[in-house]
Structure 1
Amino acid sequence: MASARLRKAFRYPDDSSDDERGREELDEEEQERVIDRLKALNEKRNSEYSIVFAAIPLFSSYAFVASILSGSSGLYERCLSLFGILSLLATAYTMRCLPLQRPDPKGKRPMTRSNTIVRVQRYLLPLNAVMCVLLALIYASQSTTESRLGIQPITYLVPGAMFATVLVARQVMLSVDLKTLENLRYEYKGA
């Protein structure tokens, strides 16, 4: 005898039914736990990224240290190497110590204390950018076949590349905005 098959009625995915696959709504406490867990995860990732992207410029500064310590390098080369090291140190400081600031949607600036550290932090990015451009111009002015410097001219592009990488990493870190998730919270209206 032929086996009989039972057929289930077709239902659209948005049909409300009492099956296991349906998603339960979160109450206020569960929402808070999820948001807090996401915040903690985001802070942990940001901390890891800031350590890694601060260490890379510090390790890259080794390329300029040999030129400063070398007795055969001239004053010009030592000054350029010092600029490279200062730029890489400023890049590492930018990644590790400067706070991430999200722009206010209303265009307001946050209130800050006026002290020396805040002023240094405000001018650090433009000064670092100027040093990177200066070193890139020196690279462009050096011919690759006739270099009077003991260090390869392409090394002067390293601070600019590190600075650009850190700025991109900071933008990626800022792209995760949990404030919008908090605004999407709903009030659970239970029985």
Structure 2
Amino acid sequence: ARLRRTFRFPSEDDDADEPEGLDEEHQEKLIADLEAEDSAKNEVYRKAFLSIPFIASLLFFYTFIAATTARQRLVAILGVSSLACTGYILHFMPIERPEKKGKRAVYRVEAEKGPVEKYLVYLNAGLAALLELAAFVSWRQGRLDDAWRESLPAIIMCLTM
């Protein structure tokens, strides 16, 4: 059973202690301010996560320039491609909140997507898996620096997605 408070008349001292209910206009303004603040924070985080693949791609550009074998150049191109896909997904295909009004069937939402939106995540995962396979081969051959470099796109994809 819930206990009830005893009724007492409000005094001048009690006004500061008890918060008054928000009127509708103040409540809407507060909600709008919180949504704007949330959007600003989301934008900062999106840019921070977008910088991770960009910075990592600089390593692959350097590897491409300093490469002595065709295998190193191919791995550098594949690494830059995977990181570019990750950056594209983060920037142009962010996770969106589902619509509350007028919910649509999932098959209709999927039908409206283009081939890039449908398959880019899977292609990027396949590319990262291919680089992980190359990293495994490099690790087995004792080239640990190459193995870490080849694992980097998969690690970044897992961190940012």
Corresponding residue of 1:139: 135
* CA positional deviation for 1:104: 6.0
Q: Of 61, 67, 88, which residue of structure 1 is paired with 2:57?
A: 61
| TM-score, normalisation: structure 1 | 0.67
Corresponding residue of 2:30: 34
Q: Distance in 2 between matches of 1:36 and 1:93?
A: 30
Q: Distance in 1 between matches of 2:6 and 2:69?
A: 78
Instruction: Indicate how the Cα distance of structure 1 residues 131 and 113 shifts in structure 2: closer, same or farther if over 3 A, else same.
Output: same
The percentage of counterpart residues that share the same residue type is 26
* 8 Å contact kept, 2:46–2:91: yes
Give the letter aligned to residue 141 of structure 1. V
What secondary structure does 2:139 align onto? coil
Q: Of 64, 67, 75, which residue of structure 2 is paired with 1:80?
A: 75
Q: How many residues align?
A: 151
Instruction: Indicate how the Cα distance of structure 1 residues 66 and 112 shifts in structure 2: closer, same or farther if over 3 A, else same.
Output: same
Q: Of 46, 54, 77, which residue of structure 2 is paired with 1:50?
A: 46
Give the letter aligned to residue 143 of structure 1. W
Corresponding residue of 2:84: 89
* 8 Å contact kept, 1:67–1:73: no
* CA positional deviation for 1:83: 1.0
Instruction: Choose 63-72 or 53-62, whichever is displaced more.
Output: 63-72
Give the letter aligned to residue 90 of structure 2. M
Corresponding residue of 1:160: 154
* 8 Å contact kept, 1:84–1:135: yes
What secondary structure does 1:90 align onto? helix
* CA positional deviation for 1:71: 5.4
Corresponding residue of 1:25: 21
Instruction: Indicate how the Cα distance of structure 1 residues 32 and 70 shifts in structure 2: closer, same or farther if over 3 A, else same.
Output: same
Instruction: Indicate how the Cα distance of structure 1 residues 50 and 85 shifts in structure 2: closer, same or farther if over 3 A, else same.
Output: same
Q: Distance in 2 between matches of 1:138 and 1:164?
A: 18
| TM-score, normalisation: structure 2 | 0.78
Q: Distance in 2 between matches of 1:16 and 1:137?
A: 73
* 8 Å contact kept, 2:135–2:146: no
